[in-house]
Structure 1
Amino acid sequence: MATKPQPGTVWFVGAGPGDPDLITVKGRKLLEQAGAVLFAGSLVDQAATLYAPAGCEIRDSKDMTLEEMTDWLIAAANRHETVIRLQTGDPGLYGALIEMTRPLTAAGIAWAVVPGVSSAMASMAAAGETLTLPEVTQTVILTRVAGRTPMPPGEELEALAAHKTTLCVYLSITLLHKVQEALLAAGWDEDAPILVVQKASWPGEEKIVRGTIKDIKRKCQDEKIASQAMIVASPTLGAADWPDLIRSKLYDPTFGHRFRKASPQENAA
């Protein structure tokens, strides 16, 4: 009697923010050997699926329910050694990762995750900005505004904004007025800089809008930005044009560490 073959592995691969070149090398290698790919067509640039080999089963998930997606992945894993769920950004951030992996585990299907570049990092890169600066802020908060999905108690944007650190606000461009209200209520100045990047890294589609808490909504309306945009509020914005910066200790000649001795000035002090 023939032994039933073991099912394949489902890989949850972060496709990155949009540019197909920003997928990881590991993610691309897995795509190149995939027997089946389920990709988020409403969010992931379809060009990423071009790495899949000829004959690969490719399915767009934008019209599927969670149950339909997991059923498809389980069925595909029973036919192929390598199955890919290709997701925007990183699979573990604002994705249904655990909701999908639980049915796979229950069905005896092995799965693993390949991380991806998030739109927060891609947005700051596109704008030439930094998330952190010495003695300005060393903390980054990734969050969203409550919409149809409520926020857990204590995670309201006003409470998070009170820390006056870098805020990367996902999935909230249609609620930009709420972001403005929360920042002002938390004590931010209405002239504090705000950055909005739509479709960060998408070839030919990226838009970068700079403004203040006071005028950012109008500027986004002028650019017709109403979806797929990252909102960043940070005390680091615009630092490239500041007259003075506090120097990073890591590269300061007067700061010694195990790879480099401090300059005589520090030793003399």
Structure 2
Amino acid sequence: MNKVYFIGAGPGDPDLITVKGKKIVEKADVVIYAGSLVNKKIIDCRKESSELYNSAHMDLNEILDLIKKSVESGKLVARVHTGDPSIYGAIREQIDPLEDMGIACEVIPGVSSFVASAAAMNKEFTLPDVSQTVICTRLEGRTPVPEKENLESLASHRASMAIFLSVHMIDNVVERLLVHYDELTPVAVVQKATWEDQKIVRGTLKDISEKVKRANITKTAQILVGGFLGNKYEKSKLYDKTFTHEYRRGK
């Protein structure tokens, strides 16, 4: 019996799906993709005879039934998610029942939008004396967030932050971050990172909300927060000529 491949299609640029993920899409008999987010160009490589389904129009049971019938018919299934499916991908609720049915599942990781957003600005989340921690989170909406993970609590660490699925609540995001971050803390909002119509808005907690509204960004965006977006940092020890490690002796 064939297995189901859960594929991270990357942030949007068709070239950013992994080679392994693309090879599966190319040979799959059935392709089920998250049509509300996945760039359609990414799955243009599928074979002409494959069946294509947009999961944006399907509920969980419909998706599971389709996968079950396809696998039982000996078909190879590619379940294509945006970014990396391990982050806000809702894959456990698909994988667990499929494995209970005896259907093997394999996850192929992808490039998440939060790292694609940093790349779009040539930034590094983990500058040595600025932050060595990256927090990925979201505001509660129709999907709740555990109380111990509320934004104010996470902001108390003043780490580098990537806030998903929350740009439509930018005022609320800013208000809650200001509990711990200074109003001049750098912020960037990246909409549709790596897509042809990518948009980047830079500012601080003091002015980012107004800038985002002027840019008419209401969805499909990352909010990046922290000193890593600034220009003050110490160089790492990694390439310091006086630093000795396993492969190089300091001078």
TM-score by length of 2: 0.97
1:252 aligns with 2:245: no
Equivalent of 2:189 in 177, 190, 196: 196
CA RMSD across the alignment: 1.0
Q: Deviations over 1:4-24 (max 9, x none)?
A: xxx311000000001110000
The 8 Å contact of residues 134 and 248 in structure 1, kept in 2 or not, is answered as: yes
Specify the code of the residue in structure 1 equivalent to 2:230: G
Q: Which residue of 1 aligns with 2:28?
A: 34
2:250: which partner in 1? 262
1:151 counterpart SS class: coil
Q: How far apart are 1:103 and its partner, in Å? A: 1.6
Counterpart code for 1:9: K
* Pairing 1:192-231 to 2, within 5 Å after superposition: 192-203=185-196, 205-231=197-223
Note the alpha carbon deviations across 1:66-111, whole angstroms, 9 max, x for none.
Answer: 1111111111112244210000011111011110011211221111
Tell whether the 8 Å contact from 1:15 to 1:27 is kept in structure 2 after alignment: yes
Give the Cα–Cα distance (whole angstroms) in 1 for the partners of residues 207 and 130 of structure 2.
24
- 1:132-187 deviation line (CA, Å, top 9, x unaligned): 1011110000000111111112100000011011010000011111110111112x
Task: Report SS of the residue matched to 1:197.
Answer: strand
Runs ≥4 residues deviating over 4 A: none
Residues of 1 paired with 2:74 and 2:55: CA distance?
18
Residue 179 (structure 1) aligned to one of 173, 177, 188: 173
- The reply to whether residue 233 of structure 1 matches residue 221 of structure 2 is no
Q: Would the aligned equivalents of 2:30 and 2:75 in 1 still touch at CA under 8 Å?
A: no
Taking the aligned partners of 1:51 and 1:107, their CA distance within structure 2 comes to: 30
The residue identity in structure 2 corresponding to 1:246 is: E
SS at match of 1:62: helix
Partner of 2:133: 139
Identity across matched positions, percent:
46
C-alpha distance after superposition, 1:109-140 (max 9, x if no partner): 11100001000000011112111101111000
Indicate if the aligned counterparts of 1:17 and 1:122 stay in contact, CA closer than 8 A. Answer: yes
Which residue of the partner structure matches residue 23 of structure 1?
17
Query: How far 1:211 moved relative to its partner?
Result: 1.0
C-alpha separation between the residues in 1 aligned to 2:75 and 2:63?
18
How many residue pairs are counted as aligned between the two chains? 251
Distance (whole Å) between structure 2 residues aligned to residue 248 and residue 256 of structure 1: 13
Q: Can you give the 5+ residue segments of structure 1 that lack an aligned partner in the other structure?
A: 1-6, 264-269
Give deviations 1:195-247, integer Å, cap 9, x for gaps: 000000012x10000011121111111111001000000111032xx4xx412
- Secondary structure, in 3 states, of the residue corresponding to 1:11? strand
Name the larger-Rg structure: 1
Asked whether the equivalents of residues 160 and 225 of structure 2 are also in contact (C-alpha less than 8 Å), the reply is yes
CA contact (8 A) 2:26 2:46 kept: yes
Alignment of 1:57-136 (within 5 A): 57-136=51-130
* Counterpart Cα distance in 2 of 1:185 and 1:152: 19
The equivalent residue for 1:4 is none
1:45 counterpart = 2:33: no
Letter in 2 for 1:111: C
**What amino acid is the match of 1:194?**
V
